[in-house]
Chains A and B, each alone.
Chain A
Amino acid sequence: MRYHIKAILWKQIKDTLKNKTILIQFIMFPVMTVIMENAIELQNMPEHFFANLFAIMYVGMAPLTSIAAIIAEEKEKNTLRVLQMSNVKGGEYLLGNLIYIFVICTLGSLVIGLAGGYAGKTLLTFMAIMAAGHLISAVLGAAIGVISKNQMSATSLTVPVMMVFSFLPMLSMFNETIAKVAKVIYSQQLHLLLQDIQHPELSVQCMTVLSVNALVILAIFIFAYRKVFAISR
Chain B
Amino acid sequence: MAQAITVKDLVHSYGGKQVLRKISIEAGEGQIIGMLGPSGAGKTTLISILTGQLMPTGGICQVFGKDCRHMNGEDYQKLGIMMDSFGLYERMNCFDNLKFYQMLDGKNTDDIDPVLAQVGLSEAKKTLACDLSKGMRNRLAFARAILRRPQLLFLDEPTSGLDPMTTEAIHEMILAQKKKGATVFLTTHNMYEAQKLCDHIVLLNEGEIVESGSPQEICRRYNHQKKIRLHLVSGEDVQLQHDAKAGEKIAAYLASGTLETIHSTEPNLETVFMELTGKGLDK
Contact = CB atoms under 8 A, between A and B. Distances in A.
Interface residues of A, number: 25
B73 A81 contact: no
Nearest to B106: A3
Interface in A159-204: none
Contacts of B103: 3, 6-7, 10-11
A205 interface: no
A94 to B, nearest CB: 15
A198 to B, nearest CB: 44
Contacts of A3: 103-106
A121 interface: no
A79 B89 contact: yes
B192 interface: no
Nearest to B144: A82
B176 interface: no
Interface in A1-27: 3-4, 6-7, 10-11, 14-15, 18-19
B206 to A, nearest CB: 21
B91 A86 contact: no
A88 interface: yes
A172 to B, nearest CB: 38
Contacts of B55: 231-233
B140 interface: no
Given A231-B55, A232-B55, A79 B88 contact: yes
A14 to B, nearest CB: 5
Nearest to A85: B76
A81 B103 CA distance: 17
Question: Size range of the interface on B?
Answer: 20 to 34
B18 interface: no
Given A14-B92, A231-B52, A231-B54, A86 B85 contact: no
Given A15-B92, A77-B87, A79-B87, A86 B105 contact: yes
Nearest to B107: A3
Contact of B91 (A15, A78, A83, A233): A15
B101 interface: yes
A44 interface: no
A82 B86 contact: yes
Contacts of B89: 11, 15, 79
A83 B101 CA distance: 8
B100 interface: yes
A156 interface: no
Contacts of B105: 3, 86
Give the residue among B54, B77, B81, B90 with the most A Cβ atoms within 10 A: B90
Nearest to B52: A231
A85 B150 CA distance: 12
B54 A233 contact: yes
Interface in B74-100: 74, 76-77, 79, 81, 83, 85-92, 96, 100
A87 interface: yes
A87 B74 contact: yes
A191 to B, nearest CB: 34
Contacts of B86: 77-79, 81-82
Given A7-B100, A11-B100, A85 B79 contact: yes
Given A10-B100, A10-B103, A15-B92, A85 B81 contact: yes
A19 B90 CA distance: 10
B223 interface: no
Nearest to B148: A86
B160 interface: no
Nearest to B145: A82
A86 B101 contact: yes
A82 B80 CA distance: 10
28 contacts: A3-B104, A6-B103, A11-B100, A11-B103, A14-B96, A15-B91, A18-B91, A18-B128, A19-B91, A77-B88, A77-B90, A78-B86, A78-B87, A79-B86, A79-B88, A82-B81, A82-B144, A84-B76, A85-B79, A86-B73, A86-B76, A87-B104, A88-B73, A88-B104, A231-B55, A232-B54, A232-B55, A233-B54
